Amino acid sequence: MQTRTELSTFTLLLMISFASVNAVLYTPALPDIAKYFTISSNLAQQTMTWFLIGYTLGQLLYGPLANRFGRKPALYTGIILQIASSLLCVLAGVLHEFTLLTIGRFLLALGAGVGLKMAFTLVNEYYEPKIAHQKIAYIMLAFGITPGIAIALGGLCTTYFGWFSCFYASAIYGVLLLILATRLPETKKVLDKHALQLKHLTQEYCTQFKNPMIIAGGLLMGICTCFIYVFAALGPFIAINLFGITSEQYGIANILPPLGLVGGSIIAAQLAKKYSPGFIIQIGIIMACLGSLLMLLTLALGLPIIFALFLPLIFIYFGVALILPNASMYAMQYATDKAHGSAVMNFLNMGLATTVVLNLGFLTISKLLLPIIYFIAVIGLMALHRWLLSQNKAIASKA
């Protein structure tokens, strides 16, 4: 009897955080990048915007690739693209070409996006739904731990080795994940030879885009992602330019907010055993609202940046960690095809975050801009949560 290959939790942790680490690792260097290329802060933020665009498009790319060639070949393709693109970003610095850096960031995201996509697919195919729900809640810990470590590492790299070193670190991460990915099981036993045909793709994605639970769950996740990436885009300029802290101090301070994601992920996994996803999401929304209110008050009172910016984020990220796994569970529960379902879910997730970050360039950066955006996001969470519950109730009544 053949023993089933285990799905390594450690590898899943690295996979699910692959894109988020690559997104934020270089953020302490954004002011330095703006100075290096002699560009404005808004233009420097485009490296984040184009990353998110690549990340979003990548979610739709790997679904059909994974169905046609298998989960592991699709994973290898994305990781190799991420490694090559990280080195392209270094080359952009050597050649002093900001446009090339932007292209490199786009391609880097296109590759790194495979991590989140394939992590959700593998978990949902490998485990039964209840265990998969708990597993996703636990691996979401990486969403809390690794980005904070990445920003801290990016701050140290920028301070002592220059901003180029952030992209060398990204490439090393890709090499490590590629090695570990070779040991993962292949969960796609029967390949779909028609997966890359345009007619087939259109039919599959149309089916998933018509699924109200995938739409509601994906958009709910998208607002949660906005909390993280809006801070990644605005945080360095608020903290370094407006409050006057160094890149190293900013990187170290970023260890604090992910504590909320870590705590929230642990609590979410425990609550999943006793309470409904809808109730857990509601608690998460309340936490995000309280954190946003605390940030607004502390910034308005002019308290030190640690208390005004980073501590409130602990509460906000705690709420986000409660919402994300439960929103994804709602979405994937009714997906007729897990690969295409997770692709559409994450496309909506990252697409919403990309749209929001893209529009940040039209705003003037101020100390109160972040909590104002967060309050708008909380209102969106409330509205989407009500819609998700109503759709779930409607589907249940038909069953």
pLDDT, tens only, 322-348: 998 888 888 877 777 776 787 788 888
**Hey, how many other C-beta atoms are within 10 angstroms of the C-beta on 160?**
10
Task: For residue 119, give the nearest of 210, 42, 181, 198 by alpha carbon.
Answer: 181
- Record the tokens describing residue 397, joined without a space: 């009544």
**In this structure, are residues 110 and 81 in contact, taking their beta carbons and an 8 Å threshold?**
yes
- Record the tokens describing residue 240, joined without a space: 């370094």
Mean pLDDT computed over every residue of the chain:
87
**In this structure, are residues 148 and 255 in contact, taking their beta carbons and an 8 Å threshold?**
yes
Which domains, from first to last, does the chain contain? 11-398 (1.20.1250.20)
Which are the contacts of 155, defined by CB distance < 8 A and separation ≥ 6? 28, 247, 248, 249, 250, 251, 252, 254
pLDDT truncated to tens, each residue of the chain (399 aa)? 344 567 788 888 889 889 889 988 998 898 899 999 999 888 888 898 899 889 888 877 887 888 888 888 999 999 999 999 999 999 999 999 999 999 999 999 999 989 877 887 888 778 777 777 677 767 766 766 777 788 889 989 998 999 999 999 999 999 999 999 998 888 777 787 877 788 877 887 888 888 888 898 899 999 998 998 899 888 888 888 888 888 888 888 888 888 898 888 888 878 888 888 889 999 999 999 999 999 999 999 989 888 999 999 999 999 998 998 888 888 877 777 776 787 788 888 888 988 888 788 788 888 899 999 999 999 999 999 998 888 878 877 775
**Hey, how many other C-beta atoms are within 10 angstroms of the C-beta on 206?**
10
User: Rounded to two decimals, what is the model's pTM?
Assistant: 0.75
Place of tokens 């952030």: 166
Helix (H, G, I), strand (E, B) or coil at 304: coil
